[in-house]
Structure formats: C-alpha cells, structure tokens
Structure 1
Amino acid sequence: MASTEDEFRSICLNLTSEEAMLGGCNYSSEYENGELLEKVVSRVVPIFFGFIGIVGLVGNALVVLVVAANPGMRSTTNLLIINLAVADLLFVIFCVPFTATDYVMPRWPFGDWWCKVVQYFIVVTAHASVYTLVLMSLDRFMAVVHPIASMSIRTEKNALLAIACIWVVILTTAIPVGICHGEREYSYFHRNHSSCVFLEEQGYSKLGFQMSFFLSSYVIPLALISVLYMCMLTRLWKSAPGGRVSAESRRGRKKVTRMVVVVVVVFAVCWCPIQIILLVKALDKYHITYFTVTAQIVSHVLAYMNSCVNPVLYAFLSENFRVAFRKSIIGAPRTKRERKRENSKSHNVMYCPPPYNDGMSGRPQPTKTTRTGNGNSCHDIV
C-alpha cells in the first residue's frame, strides 16, 4: 500500500507541482483516481504532445523552405507568413518538450537558468505568433479598404520593418518573465522535488502577471483581428451602384468571408481554454480532479495545435503556395495538361482597385485572377 500511495503522491506532484506545494492534492478524496491519472500522464501526454511537435515542426519548416526557395514569392504577405512560421516553429520547440517534461517527471531536470530561458521564450514566441496574425489582418485590411494608398505602404521594406519592430518590442518587454520564474526545490511527503514555477514568494504578483498575459496575448490581439476583418468584410460586401454584383465576385466574397471566420474562430477556440485555466490557477481556484487535469491537458493541446494549423490556414490553402511547394519539394516541371487544368481552377482571391477615371465600375470588386505583368495593383486576400 505504501508503494501505491507514493505513486499517487508522485502523479499528483507531476501534474500540478505548484498546487502540490500549496497542499492542493487531497489524497483521501483523489486516491481512487491515482492510477488513472498516472496513465493519462505517462501514455496520453507523450503521444499527443509528440504528434503535435512533429506536425508543428514539419509544417512550419516547410513554409520557411518553400518561401526561401522561391524568390518570386517574397511579397509582403509571404514575408508575414514566413515570420509566422518562424514564430510558431520556435513556439513548438520551446513549449511542447518542456511542458511534456513538466507533466511526466517529478523533478525539473534542466536547472534554474534554463527554467528562466524556457519561460521567457514561451511568452516571446507566443506573442510573436499572435501579433504576426494581427499584422496579417492589418495587411489584408489595407489591401481592401485602402487599395490605392496601400500600394506605397505595403512594401517588402515596410513589412520587414514591422516584423523587426514587433520582435524588438516583445523581446524587450518579456524580460521580466525570466526574472520572476525559477527552479524551486522542496520536500513533499519526505521526498525531494523541484519544479519550474512563478516565484510568487519573492514578491511578484502571479495574478498580475497572468492578467497581463491574458490581455496582451489574447484579448487585445483578438479584438484587433476581429475589428480589422470586420471592416474589411464590410467594405468587401458593399455592392456597386445599382446593386449589380457578378456571380464570380459573389463567389470571391464568400470565399474571403469563410476564410476570415475560420481564422478568427480557430484563434479564439485554440487559445481560450488555456487562458481560462491559467487565470483560474492565478486566482487559486484550481482544484485537482480527473476533470480539471484532463481539461488542462486538452487546453495545452489546443494551444499548441494553433501553431500546427497556421501553416495550413495561411500557406497551404493558397494556390500559389501549393504550386511553389510542388516545385520546391517534388522539383518536376508541370505538364501542359497540368498547367491547363490549373488555369481552369479558381486561384487566390485578389482585390484589384479600378483606375481613377473608372466612373462606371463603382467600388472595387474582388475578383478571382492571377497576376499579370502589371499585377502589382492587385492585392492577395486569400
């Protein structure tokens, strides 16, 4: 019996080391779930986290490879896509293996310094990914709502400058994260343990930290993305004078609308559960049960899945990207039949503003087209 009790205490510590230090594990009430919780941690977590890690690494690495191997793809939009892939790649590297370690081991094996580094880069890469999504929504907003003015703004130089700015700001403002985290040694049930935790006993406010993370990494970017896309769709769906809209234009609008809804919903759904759980923990309202432990694991999986889904949403759904992918990975030239079939398909939805003197066309309409020699006046939307 003593051996089984030790196993349960160990699993309780592995799952929520901070709560265990505060006496959050109730042995008498949760003992029956001990073996089940142990199985969840030792079997399910490595499988799911390992799968997410592999998919995230491969998907984002392919995005970087394809854009880097095709100089013709280095537009402002694709620069943002490659930055998103880099941020998501680093997020997967710094989050998945170390979070999995925290779940399955009773001790933090990497030391105090690496604890600070990991926590710092988790926050940095999460913010870099999220605010790249904000930049992408701003890029699409400018292309649709201000198509003429944006021609001089949406340049590669300005895109690189914006990317550099968000990295510098995030890297600088996240420095306190490393300071207020560290490895903590403690004894529980006559056993020595350690964990990488928020150093609340040194005077840092865990609730204040978590609230700032919740606002800066979820509420504010979600609000910005939603508002920018709503303004874009409002402009896109305004009919031309007389209310005549071509079937092709209507299909393009519907495609853009679906894309926007999917982007916003995926971001909101993937990040909401983990944000709620972290807030509940900061408020000391988190109680260890089979349900809460399962919810915590699922919330981590969803958050990490967002970095796996982003390459699909922003890169692989693009016809131009898929063509470049085949060219880069397969390397075989397309046949005449393949080119003909490809030309008959719908390409990326692009927004092409009319000439200044086109008084009959009314507001610019979205069209499905490919870039021509003077295609710089058209802006990719999807």
Structure 2
Amino acid sequence: MENSTAGTTEDPRVSLNCTSSGMHNYIFTMIPIVYSFIFVVGVLGNSMVVAVIYSYMKLKTVANVFILNLALADLTFLITLPLWAAYTALGYNWHFGGFLCKLSTGLVTFNLYATIFLLTSLSIDRYLAIVHPVRSRPRRTLVYSRITCIIIWVFAFVLSVPTMCFRDVILIANPNISVCAFLYKDANLNRFLVGMGFVKSILGFLIPFVIIITCYCLIGKTLLGAYQVQKSKARNDEVLKMLAAVVASFFVCWVPHQIFHFMDILVQLKVIKTCKLIDIVDTALPFTICIAYFNSCLNPILYGFVGKHFRKKLLQLLKCASPLKAHPSLSTKMSSLSYRGSENVHLTANKSITLCDVR
C-alpha cells in the first residue's frame, strides 16, 4: 500500500502514516451503490450483445468478432464487481481470502488491457474498411480477426500476471483492517510496482488513445470528403455519431482515472508526501474508477444498440416483435464501404450516409 511501513516479524501488520486517507463514510455508501448499478446494467447489456450476435447475427463480419470479444471481456470483469462493492461497503476490509484478492484484481487488470486493445483493434479495422477498402480486403478476414483476438487475450493475461502475483491481503494496524492491495516493502519491489503503473498508463491508455483518435479523425475526414462530393444529405448519420460517441466516451471514462492514477504513482515515488494531498488522491480514485468502469456499460450501447438491425434482432430475441426484414446495421454499413471497386468513396443516392456537421 502507499504511504505505509512494513511490520516486524512479531507483528506482521502494516502501519499507515496517514491513517484516515480516503476513509470516508460517504465513499463506503456511494461507491457500492454505483458498483451495483454498473454490475446490473453492464451484465444485462453485454449479455444481450453476446446473445444477439450468437443467435442471429453470427460471426460473419470482422466487426462482430471484435464486438463479441469486447462484450465477453467486459463480462469477465463485471462478475468481480459484487466483491468490490462488498469490500468498499465494509470500509475497505477484505474478508474473502487471498485467492479471491489475487483473482479479482487480476481480472480487473485483464479487462483493462483486453478492452482497450479490442477497442483499438476495432478502430483500426474501421479505418482500414473505410479509408483503404480495397487494399485492406485481403487482411480483413474472419481468420485474421480471430487470431488478433486470441493474441489480445493472451497479451492481456500476461500483463495481468504481475498484479495477481504481487496483490495480496495485507493487515493494517491503524485502523485494524485487512485490505487487498500492494505492499511496498522494499526499494526494488517499489520500483517494479511503480513501473507497472507507468506501463498501465502508457500501454493501457496513452498509446491506444492516440491510435483511436487518429483512426477516427481519418475516418471522419474521409466521410466528410465523400459528403462534399455527394453535395446532398443522406438518409442517416449513424456512422459519424457513433465515431464521435466512441471518442468522447473513451476520453470521458478513462482520462480522470489516468490523471489520478498518475498522481498515485507520484505518491509511491514520494513526490507527494502531505497527508492532505494523499487524502485527495485516495478519495478521488474510487470515483474515477467508477467512471472508468462505466465504460463497460457504454460499450454495448455504442457498438451494438446503435445499429437498427441489432435493435430489431434484440426485440426478436426477447419475443417482443415478429421477425422483421433486415436493415443494414451500423457495422454492416461501415463494412459495406470496403467492398467498393475503387478506393474513392462515392456515395450514391440509394446507399448513402448522412455526414453530420463537425464544429
């Protein structure tokens, strides 16, 4: 844990220098409620994505492969939220044993990397399908997409192994509780854990964020260029709305957590030493984590429910509507641009995309 000293052989408990850091009653009440909400909404949303793709849409497109894996990655994380809700409600007192401490924190780290890498891969796929439709066709196949997903899952697991190894149940002397955390007990381990924090910021956010922003900016430029050629409004603006929503949600959900995660690294490096500042960091971190976790609820909305075809298939699944004539889904509309005979995207009156104003 940050801001702590290791116990002796006779007393293995750890003493905190700032005993009340982040220990506030409103956190112990609000955060479990938010976690419970995210768990219910996230499990329902992602389960419906998995069910609709598996039952109706199948894995016939590259986009569906990535969306299905994204939903599965979110579900692996969401199943740990009841533990974290109970842990927070008990005043950061862990009663679930060392194995669940390591496993649940490992799944959180695993989800972080898997989700970010899948979002990045999906962004690159959309970029290739729209900006370079002809040249990318030989590489944009279901086989390549499945291999990419396997590599992502393996890489995310490898990056989560250190968390599972070094996270453990630690006895705290003041207050007298057991927490699931890292113990910074010597200089070498401290440097390693701080290095893990930097890896999380760079590999788990900064590089993917730059790639995602670049891809969607280039996609937007291509679609706007096609709109200028067409000189008329098309029938819907789902594509650019989705692009803007993806970038905005990714930024809003992850930037606050990354800022305070970096400040937490500064605490470990003892750049931040005062208990008042440490309390601000420890108090803000749970709320920024909630915002980041909420991304697991937004993913099925952004990548599934936006498409009309998906919504209608969902209604079929829930037996709220009879089988309907299929309409192009968002992923289908975006993928269809890759099957044109020229790299110049010319939209006709029959197959067009409305381009919203970019201000």
TM normalised by structure 2 equals 0.81
Gaps of 5+ in 2: 5-14
Identity %: 26
SS at match of 1:218: helix
Aligned: 1:153 with 2:139: yes
Greater alpha carbon shift after TM alignment, 270-279 vs 301-310: 270-279
SS at match of 1:188: coil
SS at match of 2:18: coil
Aligned: 1:272 with 2:255: yes
Q: For 1:181-260, what aligned pairs fall within 5 Å after superposition?
A: 181-188=167-174, 191=176, 193-202=177-186, 203-204=188-189, 205=191, 206-239=193-226, 244-249=229-234, 255-260=238-243
Counterparts of 1:310 and 1:345 in 2: how far apart (Å)? 16
Q: Which has the larger radius of gyration?
A: 1
Counterparts of 1:270 and 1:368 in 2: how far apart (Å)? 37
Q: What is aligned with 2:16?
A: 22
Deviation at 1:99, TM superposition (A): 2.8
Relative to structure 1, the CA distance from residue 293 to residue 119 in structure 2 (aligned partners, 3 Å threshold; closer, same or farther) is closer
User: Quick check: 1:277–1:296 contact (8 Å CA) kept in 2?
Assistant: yes
Deviation at 1:255, TM superposition (A): 4.2
Q: What is aligned with 1:102?
A: 87
Counterparts of 2:349 and 2:195 in 1: how far apart (Å)? 48
SS at match of 1:185: strand
SS at match of 1:81: helix
SS at match of 1:194: strand
Q: Which amino acid aligns with 1:227?
A: T
Give a deviation string over 1:115-134, Cα, whole Å, max 9, x none: 22222221111110111101
Q: What is aligned with 2:313?
A: 324
Counterparts of 1:57 and 1:49 in 2: how far apart (Å)? 12
Find the partner of 2:153 among 154, 160, 167: 167
Counterparts of 1:92 and 1:369 in 2: how far apart (Å)? 42
Relative to structure 1, the CA distance from residue 84 to residue 287 in structure 2 (aligned partners, 3 Å threshold; closer, same or farther) is farther
Deviation at 1:317, TM superposition (A): 0.4
Find the partner of 2:345 among 361, 364, 369: 364
Q: What is aligned with 2:264?
A: 281
Q: For 1:68-83, what aligned pairs fall within 5 Å after superposition?
A: 68-72=54-58, 74-83=60-69
SS at match of 1:70: helix
User: Quick check: 1:270–1:305 contact (8 Å CA) kept in 2?
Assistant: yes
Gaps of 5+ in 1: 1-16, 371-377
SS at match of 1:283: helix
SS at match of 1:77: helix
User: Quick check: 2:263–2:281 contact (8 Å CA) kept in 1?
Assistant: no
Q: Which amino acid aligns with 2:345?
A: P
Aligned: 1:304 with 2:293: yes
User: Quick check: 1:270–1:306 contact (8 Å CA) kept in 2?
Assistant: yes
Deviation at 1:368, TM superposition (A): 8.2
Deviation at 1:216, TM superposition (A): 1.1
Aligned: 1:119 with 2:105: yes
Aligned: 1:90 with 2:76: yes
User: Quick check: 1:115–1:181 contact (8 Å CA) kept in 2?
Assistant: yes
User: Quick check: 1:134–1:221 contact (8 Å CA) kept in 2?
Assistant: yes
Deviation at 1:24, TM superposition (A): 1.4
Q: Which amino acid aligns with 2:181?
A: V
Relative to structure 1, the CA distance from residue 172 to residue 343 in structure 2 (aligned partners, 3 Å threshold; closer, same or farther) is closer
User: Quick check: 2:307–2:329 contact (8 Å CA) kept in 1?
Assistant: no
Counterparts of 2:120 and 2:329 in 1: how far apart (Å)? 30
Bigger share in helix: 1
Counterparts of 1:345 and 1:60 in 2: how far apart (Å)? 18
Counterparts of 2:125 and 2:328 in 1: how far apart (Å)? 28
Aligned: 1:144 with 2:130: yes
Number of residue pairs matched by the alignment? 333
Relative to structure 1, the CA distance from residue 214 to residue 367 in structure 2 (aligned partners, 3 Å threshold; closer, same or farther) is farther
Relative to structure 1, the CA distance from residue 55 to residue 222 in structure 2 (aligned partners, 3 Å threshold; closer, same or farther) is same
Q: What is aligned with 1:3?
A: none
Counterparts of 1:66 and 1:26 in 2: how far apart (Å)? 47
Deviation at 1:209, TM superposition (A): 1.7
Q: Which amino acid aligns with 2:198?
A: M
Q: Which amino acid aligns with 1:234?
A: K
Give a deviation string over 1:45-98, Cα, whole Å, max 9, x none: 22221111100111001100111111556321111111110111112223x223
Considering only aligned residues, what root-mean-square deviation do their CA atoms show, in Å?
Answer: 3.4
Counterparts of 1:188 and 1:45 in 2: how far apart (Å)? 22
Relative to structure 1, the CA distance from residue 196 to residue 81 in structure 2 (aligned partners, 3 Å threshold; closer, same or farther) is same
User: Quick check: 2:216–2:243 contact (8 Å CA) kept in 1?
Assistant: yes
User: Quick check: 1:349–1:369 contact (8 Å CA) kept in 2?
Assistant: no
